[in-house]
């Protein structure tokens, strides 16, 4: 598992000393598509920039600027191996990677007659377009750019000295800054273009990876009319013991279920539906935990994804076998349990090999990505700040810890009700917190739960005291919530009025 690391813009800006504008004196241009290049070449010519180029790019530029030099004149080697090797040479990459601030670099560049490149312009071989237009593997492989991608990475690495333009999509921006600064670049310009460069190389390499190791095609996406794929290594996580292929929605529920179940050290069983826990309980045995989880919402459990943190024994399997289950995952199974579980042809039975997960969460949105740290904080009794006259009992504290773990993994706005280490009901995905509580209370009553002495957990603060009043009417005696509302005191006063204990955690757990 690898964490994702990002540039800290503020830190880098503070680290870099002041750099004046740097005049472009020498440029290297190696592009596949020549469109839009003429205006750039004319500008560079007007600023007296010496251009080096390769192959067809040289021929194109020579029509505009006869002073252009071939890369071969620099390296002493012609383009070889059918054009596979043109720029891969120390005199080229030394000219890009040489550091002007490092005296030893400058001595070696002078010793080996290496020119310092201030500008590198690359437009890569059209790999994705080739894949889209042909199934000819040899043609596709020849469109894997080696020299170009190396030039991009080298230029981006040495952005202190080099402006790297990694695609023709940035030509207009380049032309604008050249005109504005008379053929010079700033450190901010070079750093910005380095960011473009790494984005370009990442996208390009991902496309190549996907061709060599295509994403696993799923039966369909979220709905039957949508196509779906999974790009990852499920075999590293699970051993599929039985059943049909996993679906898009199965994988989403598995992700949600595993994130939830790892919160518990005691024997725990969870039932997931549409990424939300509809039942979860901790009990001494797997069978007891399963039956208590099922009681939380036996209607929603139909067709659900079941997750357990202990091996499934025969007694538990006998009960599970009575329910239509989409997916069951556990660290192991007794042989007699598997005999029972395999009796349903399509039931997916997975053995969890290792429970690993990224500490970074990435979501695609608006043609970009949202990236955040995973919510790994789980509150303990030490995080609880009692804000009411009444102090919770030890049993209430235990149930508040349990309920708070469950609400953390429920879609906002979320309320969970728990009693005796069992989820009684939850209200999830509501646009108001009081509606979430009403939903939870109604569900709990519909399944025969007595909420007297139950606890309530909320994923965010109460904006009003209406939830406290509803909780009191239902018989709830303890509440755990983050706190932080400007009207916290209203809720505290209501709890004191009704004899309810309430603790603040200081941690919100929105989940959208």
Rg (CA), the chain: 31
233 in Cβ contact with 191 (< 8 Å): no
Nearest to 52 by CA among 36, 42, 43, 41: 41
Give per-residue burial for 102-115: e unless 16+ CB within 10 Å, then b.
Answer: eeebeeebeeeebb
Before 512, cis peptide (omega within 30)? no
* DSSP code of residue 215: P
Tens of pLDDT, residues 423-455: 999 999 999 999 999 999 999 999 999 999 999
Count CB neighbours of 316 within 10 A: 26
Cα–Cα distances in Å, from 461 out to 405, 433, 434, 467?
A: 16, 9, 11, 10
Domain 23-212: CATH superfamily, name plus number = Methylglyoxal synthase-like domain (3.40.50.1380)
Count CB neighbours of 36 within 10 A: 15
Q: Which CATH class is domain 229-352?
A: alpha beta
* DSSP code of residue 321: T
Phi/psi at 493 (5° precision): -65, -40
State whether residue 456 is helix, strand or coil. Answer: strand
End-to-end CA distance of the chain: 24
Is the fold of 23-212 the same as that of 381-504?
no
Q: Which of 157, 240, 469, 472 is catalytic?
A: 157
Cα–Cα distances in Å, from 128 out to 149, 348, 427?
A: 14, 36, 46
Q: Which of 143, 274, 469, 472 is catalytic?
A: 274
Distance from C-alpha of 197 to C-alpha of 191, rounded to nearest angstrom? 10
Q: What is the pTM of this model?
A: 0.71
**Helices within 383-502 (DSSP H only):** 394-408, 433-446, 466-474, 488-498
Predicted local confidence at residue 207, as pLDDT: 86
Predicted local confidence at residue 14, as pLDDT: 46
The tens place of each residue's pLDDT in the chain, 512 residues long, gives 444 444 444 444 444 445 689 999 999 999 998 988 999 999 999 999 999 998 889 899 999 988 999 888 888 778 778 777 777 888 888 889 999 888 998 898 889 888 999 999 999 988 888 988 888 999 999 998 888 899 999 999 999 999 999 999 999 999 999 999 999 999 999 999 999 999 999 988 888 888 887 788 888 999 999 999 888 888 889 999 999 999 999 999 999 999 999 999 999 999 999 999 999 999 999 999 999 999 999 999 999 999 999 999 999 999 999 999 999 999 999 999 999 999 999 999 999 998 777 788 888 889 888 999 999 999 999 999 999 999 999 999 999 999 999 999 999 999 999 999 999 999 999 999 999 999 999 999 999 999 999 999 999 999 999 999 999 999 999 999 999 999 999 999 999 999 999 999 999 999 99
State whether residue 421 is helix, strand or coil. Answer: coil
Show the CA angle centred on residue 78, arms to residues 75 and 81, nearest 5°: 125
Show the CA angle centred on residue 307, arms to residues 301 and 310, nearest 5°: 135
Tens of pLDDT, residues 236-255: 899 999 999 999 999 999 99
Cα–Cα distances in Å, from 488 out to 64, 286, 468?
A: 72, 40, 11
Q: Indicate the length of the chain as a whole number.
A: 512
Q: Where are the domains of the chain?
A: 23-212, 229-352, 381-504
Catalytic annotation on 157?
A: yes
Q: 381-504 is classed in which CATH architecture?
A: 3-Layer(aba) Sandwich (3.40)
Tens of pLDDT, residues 450-470: 999 999 999 999 999 999 999
């Amino acid at each position: 598992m690898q964490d994702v690391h990002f540039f800290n813009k503020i830190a880098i800006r503070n680290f870099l000393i002041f750099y004046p504008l740097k005049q472009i004196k020498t440029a290297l241009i190696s592009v596949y598509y020549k469109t839009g290049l003429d205006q750039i070449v004319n500008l560079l010519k007007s600023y007296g920039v010496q251009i080096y180029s390769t192959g067809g790019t040289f021929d194109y530029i020579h029509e505009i600027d006869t002073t252009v030099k071939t890369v071969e004149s620099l390296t002493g080697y012609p383009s070889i191996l059918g054009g596979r090797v043109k720029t891969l040479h120390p005199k080229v990459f030394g000219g890009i990677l040489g550091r002007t601030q490092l005296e030893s670099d400058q001595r070696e560049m002078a010793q080996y007659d290496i020119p310092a490149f201030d500008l590198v312009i690359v437009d890569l071989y059209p790999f994705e377009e080739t894949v889209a237009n042909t199934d000819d593997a040899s043609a596709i492989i020849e469109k894997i750019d080696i020299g170009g991608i190396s030039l991009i990475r080298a230029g981006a690495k040495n952005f202190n000295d080099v402006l790297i333009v990694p695609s023709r999509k940035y030509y207009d921006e380049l032309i604008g800054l050249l005109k504005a600064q008379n053929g010079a670049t700033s450190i901010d310009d070079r750093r910005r273009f380095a960011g473009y460069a790494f984005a370009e190389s990442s996208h390009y390499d991902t496309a190549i990876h996907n061709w060599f190791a295509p994403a696993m095609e799923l039966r369909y996406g979220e709905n039957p009319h949508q196509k779906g794929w999974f790009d990852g290594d499920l075999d590293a996580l699970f051993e599929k013991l039985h059943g049909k292929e996993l679906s898009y929605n199965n994988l989403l529920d598995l992700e949600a279920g595993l994130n939830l179940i790892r919160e518990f050290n005691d024997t725990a069983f969870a039932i997931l539906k549409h990424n939300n826990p509809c039942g979860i309980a901790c009990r001494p045995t797997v069978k007891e935990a399963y039956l208590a989880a099922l009681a939380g919402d036996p209607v929603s459990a139909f067709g659900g994804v079941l997750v357990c943190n202990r091996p499934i024994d025969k007694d538990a399997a006998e009960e599970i076998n009575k329910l239509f289950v989409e997916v069951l995952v556990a660290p192991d199974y007794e042989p007699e349990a598997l005999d029972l579980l395999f009796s349903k042809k399509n039931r997916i039975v997975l053995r969890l090999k290792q429970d690993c997960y990224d500490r970074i969460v990435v979501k695609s949105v608006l043609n970009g990505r949202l990236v955040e740290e995973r919510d790994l904080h789980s509150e303990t009794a030490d995080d609880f700040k009692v804000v009411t006259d009444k102090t919770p009992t030890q049993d209430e504290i235990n149930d508040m810890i349990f309920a708070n773990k469950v609400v953390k993994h429920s879609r906002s706005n979320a309320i969970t009700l728990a009693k005796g280490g069992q989820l009684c009901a939850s209200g999830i995905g509501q646009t108001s917190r009081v509606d979430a509580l009403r939903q939870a209370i109604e569900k709990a009553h519909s399944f025969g739960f007595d909420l007297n002495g139950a606890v309530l957990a909320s994923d965010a603060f109460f904006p009003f005291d209406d939830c406290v009043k509803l909780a009191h009417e239902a018989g709830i005696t303890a509440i755990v919530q983050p706190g932080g509302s400007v009207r916290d005191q209203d809720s505290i006063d209501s709890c004191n009025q009704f004899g309810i204990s309430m603790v603040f955690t200081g941690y919100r757990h929105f989940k959208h």
